Structure 1
Amino acid sequence: MPVVVDSNDDGTVAQELELEQMRSTLEEAIVETLSNLSKIDRDFPRLALSKRNRAVVRAVNPMLVTYLEASRDLCETDSILFGAALAVCPIIDAKLSMAGRATGQSSAIPAWRIRIEERIAKARALIGRLICFRSGNTRPRIVRTVRMAFAGTNVSLSQPDII
């Protein structure tokens, strides 16, 4: 639930109730990130530096001190800062992408699979052209492909047993 933050001209946050809500939201987010380190997607929107956003960050920064002083290592510090960012986004109405959060997996095809499928497609095209050459097709494009396939080997296209 987003918290409405009112900022004065000097950038201070006005109401104590909002500070307590922010503190509880921050604590929940930090506890969540510390317990689910590997399951959380770390994709945040880029935020504008408006007066309102600065006021929220200025209000959250002092709350982080106790958590950061108690952190034991860099991983825990990273998780605390991530939790703070996770808590601040709904307060300033920033939209978080939900890809990968609910199920733990994204619906997109992994990059490694796409690369392997592209390599397979190129290999199939090369095999098809080699078969065309073997059956007697000597069009320039086929011959050029066969020459490139055998480049760096001791095989010459003028050899009688190449086909």
Structure 2
Amino acid sequence: MLVTYLEASRELCETDSILFGAALALCRIIGAKLSTAGRATGQSSAIPAWRIRIEERIAKARALIGRLMCFRSGNTRPRIVRTVRMAFAGINVSLSQPDIMQKLTERIDDQKQRIAA
């Protein structure tokens, strides 16, 4: 039966699909696991990779804005404080400085501008 399909296949892609299907069927019969990781199925996502990356960056920026606003409104939970420290990493800013609210507002505005761009 497999010979019939292989003789009828015209392209390498078709032959590959037939052989993979046969191997998959055989593995199911004998109870073996077959990894499909790394196999090119020929089906690509309808959304381009660059768009997915941009949407992920926007989601991260929105999450950061939300946590910075929580800290600005008085939420000092450890996760929020850790996020605020990460947002100001590389800049010599202490969270106990008197002008921290102004710096928070500036950082929130910067993130909003990055989203809008």
What TM-score bracket applies, with the shorter chain setting the length? 0.3 to 0.5
Alpha-carbon RMSD: 7.7
Q: Against the structure 1 CA distance between its residues 79 and 144, is the aligned structure 2 distance closer, same or farther, given a 3 Å change threshold? A: closer
The alpha-carbon distance between structure 1 residues 76 and 158, as it changes in their structure 2 partners (threshold 3 A), is same
Render the CA deviation track for 1:34-57: whole Å, top value 9, x for unaligned. Answer: xxxxxxxxxxxxxxxxxxxxxxxx
Q: Number of residue pairs matched?
A: 98
| Post-superposition offset of 1:158 | 1.3
Structure (1/2) with the larger helix percentage? 2
Structure 2 distance, partners of 1:155, 1:81, is 61
Which stretches of structure 1, 4 residues or longer, exceed 4 Å deviation after superposition? 63-107
Gaps in structure 2 of 5+ consecutive residues: 99-117
Q: CA deviation at 1:108?
A: 1.3
CA contact (8 A) 1:129 1:145 kept: yes
Q: Which one has a bigger Cα radius of gyration?
A: 1
What residue ranges of structure 1 are gaps of 5+ in the alignment?
1-62
1:13-70 CA-partner distances (Å, limit 9, x unpaired): xxxxxxxxxxxxxxxxxxxxxxxxxxxxxxxxxxxxxxxxxxxxxxxxxx99999999
- For CA contacts below 8 A with separation 6 or more, give which structure has more relative contact order: 1
TM-score, normalised to structure 1's length? Answer: 0.34
Q: Percent identity?
A: 93
Instruction: Check whether the contact 1:133–1:146 (CA below 8 A) recurs between aligned residues.
Output: yes
- Kindly state the Cα deviation for residue 72 of structure 1 after the two structures are TM-superposed: 27
